[in-house]
Amino acid sequence: MSSKEIHKTASKDKIPNSQKFAYGLGSIVNNLLGGAIGYMSIVLNVGLGINPALVGTLQAIPRLTDALTDPIMGYISDNTRSKYGRRRPYIFIGAILVGLTFALMWQLPEGYSEMFYFWFFLIGSIIFYLFYTMFATPWVALGYELTSDYHERTRLMGVMNFMGQFAWITLPWFYAFMENDRFFSDSVQGARTLAILIGVFVAVVGIMPAIFTRERFVGQDKEVRIKNKFVEGLKKNVALFFKGLLITIKRVEFLKLCAGTFFVFNGIMLVGAFSSYITIFYVCGGDKSMGAYYMGLFGTVTTISTLAAIAAVTWISSRIGKRKTFIIATAIMFFGSLLKWFCYDPMVPWMVVIPAPFIAVGMGALFTLMGSMIADVCDLDELETGERREGMFGSIYWWMVKLGMAIAFGLSGFLLNGTGFVVDFGGAQTSSTFFWMRVVDVGIPAVGALIAIYSIASFKITEEKSYEIRSELEKRRNKSISVEKISPST
């Protein structure tokens, strides 16, 4: 095959649209669960009077437990053998349990102490995140294995990312919903009702990927049964787990994807707060209602642009490949970040929206292409190790994203203080404070984008290489199946 030749997806590799849609529904649930606690936690402070530091602790502790539970769940799912598959049983049960837990953890009774609420919510959160991991890790892994085709993977991830945006559109409305005195007497009552609505939605919609998708690797791998005693079995599993973990985190191509994601995504997350502050206090001179208007406009333009970018990136990558598409999209985002320096002008406030579509291109491309490229890495990994470990790859990748996000949120406060920002001064910050706020706002995402481009530029699994790997894997599988067929011991 010539390096410029574009593969057409064979009909057997195409995922039916209904399955893509069903998988995409999981994305809405996944994003909703990932964002809901953050958007609703304000009620803990405003409605129940819990100290903001304790609310921060409540959000940080589950990140630590995730570090352990995510890879373990990935390992369990990768090594599960059942007639329903390795992923779907967990997605089905996980969706129901996480929906139920989410609804229950927000049923906070009235009239108790701050520490009662802290422990109530902490225990609830830990159980919630456990079930969230049970749902999300196999769901992510399922996406990596629904098709073997290089381009079809990107299309699936495009649908998934596109549908997932609807959760992000909904989330900012949660506070207004909970605070709406047409429906509720106070925000705590609003949170209780909203949690039930979300819980029902999660349980009903979350099981759709389990019901309507088909796993490709059910029963194809040889079964490994540990017939030893429980303790020995446990020891062996722990050893296998750490071995798998080490192989995963040593996989260079995977690390490049992690680095690319980390720097693009967290670059944007880290300065998320800065952009709001700069819009309100610099561009709008401290006029909060004007600032809120422009931030809303920025959000709307970003959302529309992201949806368009996902569609465009999916199409372009089928023409020029994932790596080149990622580099171009990230370069556009780099340009958008630099544009902020010129467009954030107090004399012309509406210009704040100009960089939004450019930045959205990078963000839209990120989770569309990265998911698809991780699936390619899983193939390479199988070629070299003989094992399919989508669960492990997916869990470590997403844990890294979540951890990065937690670090970004934590660091952004320190960075803001470092610029000399004094909240009581409102729009009357010093010129040097505004200068450094803008340097950080422009510089961090721009530098992050450049590092990401550098990381992905050397990513080796091109379209051609991917098809070679696939061909080799299929040969090996066919051989393995025929050996199994003639072997009397199987």
Q: Which residues bind other proteins (CB under 8 A)?
A: 18, 22, 179-183, 193, 197, 200-201, 204-205, 208, 211-212, 281-282, 284-287, 289-290, 346-347, 424-434
Cβ 314 to other proteins, closest distance in Å? Answer: 24
Residue nearer to other proteins on the CB measure, 85 or 394: 85
Residue nearer to other proteins on the CB measure, 26 or 244: 26
Cβ 12 to other proteins, closest distance in Å? Answer: 14
Cβ 426 to other proteins, closest distance in Å? Answer: 6
Return d(Cα 421, Cα 418) in angstroms, integer: 7
Question: Could you tell me if residue 340 is left (phi over 0), alpha (psi between -120 and 50 degrees) or otherwise beta?
Answer: alpha
Expressed in angstroms, the distance from the first to the final Cα of the chain is 38
Of 322, 326, 345, 346, which Cα lies nearest the Cα of 334?
326
Virtual torsion, Cα 321, 324, 325, 331, nearest 10 deg: 180
Cβ count within 10 A of residue 346: 11
Cβ 152 to other proteins, closest distance in Å? Answer: 19
Residue nearer to other proteins on the CB measure, 56 or 427: 427
Cβ 128 to other proteins, closest distance in Å? Answer: 21
Return d(Cα 324, Cα 285) in angstroms, integer: 41
> Residue 188 contacts by C-beta under 8 Å, 6 or more apart in sequence?
43, 47, 48, 108, 110
Cβ 422 to other proteins, closest distance in Å? Answer: 9
Residue nearer to other proteins on the CB measure, 76 or 200: 200
What amino acid is encoded at 84 in this protein? Y
Residue nearer to other proteins on the CB measure, 83 or 182: 182
Question: Could you tell me if residue 180 is left (phi over 0), alpha (psi between -120 and 50 degrees) or otherwise beta?
Answer: beta
Residue nearer to other proteins on the CB measure, 181 or 223: 181
Residue nearer to other proteins on the CB measure, 393 or 436: 436
Q: Are 469 and 380 in contact (CB under 8 A)?
A: yes
Q: Are 105 and 41 in contact (CB under 8 A)?
A: no
Cβ 190 to other proteins, closest distance in Å? Answer: 10
